[in-house]
Amino acid sequence: MIYFDNAATSWPKPPGVAKAMVHFLDQVGANPGRAAHRRAVESGRIVYEAREKVARLLNCSDPLRVVFGQNVTEALNLALRGMLRTGDHVVTSSVEHNSVMRPLRALQRQGVDLTVVQCSPQGFLDPGDVEAALQPNTAMIVLNHGSNVMGTLLPLREVAAIARQHDTLLLLDAAQTAGAYPLDMQADGVDLLAFTGHKALYGPPGTGGLIIGERVDLERLEPLKRGGTGSRSEWEEQPDFLPDMYESGTVNAVGLAGLEAGVSWVLEQGVAAIRAHEVELAKRVISGLCSISGVTVYGGLDAELQTATVAFNISALLPSEVGLRLDEEYDIMCRIGLHCAPAAHRTLGTFPTGTVRFGLGVFNTAAEVDDALDSVRSLAAEAR
Amino acid sequence: MTGEAYAVVLVYSTSYALKAEKHLAKAGITCKLIPVPRQLGSDCGVCVRIARRDRETAEEVLMGAAMQVAGIRDI
């Protein structure tokens, strides 16, 4: 079996992940941050360790600035709906996922002014176009770091510099890149970083969060939900400090135990080494697919400028047919369709049909890539 | 240890207690997370117990780490 759906959820996980989760359920179990007995403290410690590891990996100045939630979608909703008000202007790109576009379209109906900057048909963004779109009331730039459709990397540092220069905030959707591509929240100039645990951080689904940088005004950033935090219990008002302010309700401690193990593993391997392996795989996939007659590959066709996610189509075959046959006849798991990103597919010119997506991860091998290329070659030959 | 005099570092939440504990432990100060003594607050949370003789060093360590705490009290 070949698993090429890592852009959705990575699999397999490093062995420590399941072990940490079983340990939590069997040996710890208690509620983190809700009592002071040993088990509760141990549970809180595991969650804190996860906070610390994420902060270390992404170079955030303080682990308490890491606010955990269910996934990157929740984090993006917190940042967008918590920060933007009627009359504000927000700028984003034309390759965003619906986890950005849907909250933004809803905010637009509430009077937030939205500019979607057009990317090239390969999915690249010109930072100059972002700068040209800014207005005096621009409150935020929202940027997809790496596309979930064709893997294209957007120019983070250049856009961050523009955000600083124009005194606006930069929200980064790092769903596809956190753990897979070097990311330094402080050096890169990210104000709000939304991440998910179940992709390149190699944790389980149900984990993710928002890292809140020092330029963000907490008085302005409204929580998505309010409730019990285990702190300031004598108050009926929400706490005003991090992370509790944005973390009401019991966090997914068993998931975060797994995330801690996943991020620890990423730290041990080193993001640079993971990236180097994935670049090699992506090169092999791109050049292999490009050499097959009848196959169209989307994006920049340069592994250095993208993640290990590659989008393609086989002429005369619908993506749904390719996906089904790869699964049933060749034992290859990939994802087809629009990948929750209609804007990105419109940019590529693949809307509404979509594409086939190979989402590679660190556990994939060159041999698997070669097998998958043989399968695509067979399908393409049959279709001719 | 019977007869040991203690102080507690009062913090905003468990996350702060764990962060304070890390800084204190790194400085060689023995600490334990305990429930906030009733006379010091109505909160359901934890605080960091240290030996009273470590109180001054703890204050310096926490200040050096720019850690916000709600106070340090003898118990």
- Contact check, Cβ <8 Å, A233/B68: no
Q: What is the structure's pLDDT at A232?
A: 83
**Nearest CA among A115, A230, A102 for reference residue A173:** A102
Give the ipTM. 0.86
Q: Given CATH 3.90.1150.10, say whether it is the number of domain A2-9+271-383.
A: yes
What's the confidence (pLDDT) of residue B44?
Answer: 63
Dihedral sign, Cα of residue A156, residue A47, residue A267, residue B25:
positive
Strands B31-35 and A295-298: unpaired
The arrangement of secondary structure in A15-269, i.e. its CATH architecture, is: 3-Layer(aba) Sandwich (3.40)
Which chain B residue's Cα is nearest to A44? Answer: B14
Burial class of residue A54 in the structure, from the number of CB atoms within 10 Å of its CB (0-12 exposed, 13-18 middle, 19+ buried): buried
Q: Are A219 and A171 in contact (CB under 8 A)?
A: no
Cβ under 8 Å to A: B residues 36-65: 36, 41-46
The residue written with tokens 């240890």 in the block is B1
Q: CA quadruple A62, A65, A71, A76: dihedral positive or negative?
A: negative
B48-57 mean pLDDT: 96
Is residue A184 within 8 A of residue A48, CB to CB? The reply is no
Q: Going along chain A, which residue ranges are E strands? A: 2-3, 66-69, 89-93, 113-117, 138-144, 169-173, 192-196, 208-212, 295-298, 309-314, 332-333, 335-337, 355-359
All CATH 3.90.1150.10 domain ranges of chain A, comma separated, are 2-9+271-383
Three-class SS state of A353: coil
Residues in B touching A239 (Cβ below 8 Å):
12-13
List CB contacts of A281: < 8 A, sequence separation 6 or more: A308, A360, A364, A365, A366, A369
On whether the CB atoms of residues A56 and A81 are closer than 8 A, the answer is: no
Q: Exposed, middle or buried by CB within 10 Å (0-12, 13-18, 19+), for B74?
A: exposed
Q: Which residues of A160-186 are buried (b: 16+ CB within 10 A; e: fewer)?
A: bbbbeeeebbbbbbbbbbbbbbebebe
Domain with CATH 3.40.640.10 in chain A: 15-269
Chain A nearest CA to B49, separation (Å): 12
**Structural domain boundaries in chain B:** 6-74
Q: Which chain A residue's Cα is nearest to B41?
A: A234
| CATH-assigned architecture of domain B6-74 | 2-Layer Sandwich (3.30)
Per-residue pLDDT of chain A (384 residues; tens, 9 = 90+): 999 999 999 999 999 999 999 999 999 999 998 888 999 999 999 999 999 999 999 999 899 999 999 999 999 999 999 999 999 999 999 999 999 999 999 999 999 999 999 999 999 999 999 999 999 999 999 999 999 999 999 999 999 999 999 999 999 999 999 999 999 999 999 999 999 999 999 999 999 999 999 999 999 999 999 999 988 888 899 999 999 999 999 999 999 999 999 999 999 999 999 999 999 999 999 999 999 999 999 999 999 999 999 999 999 999 999 999 999 999 999 999 999 999 999 999 999 999 999 999 999 999 999 999 999 999 999 998
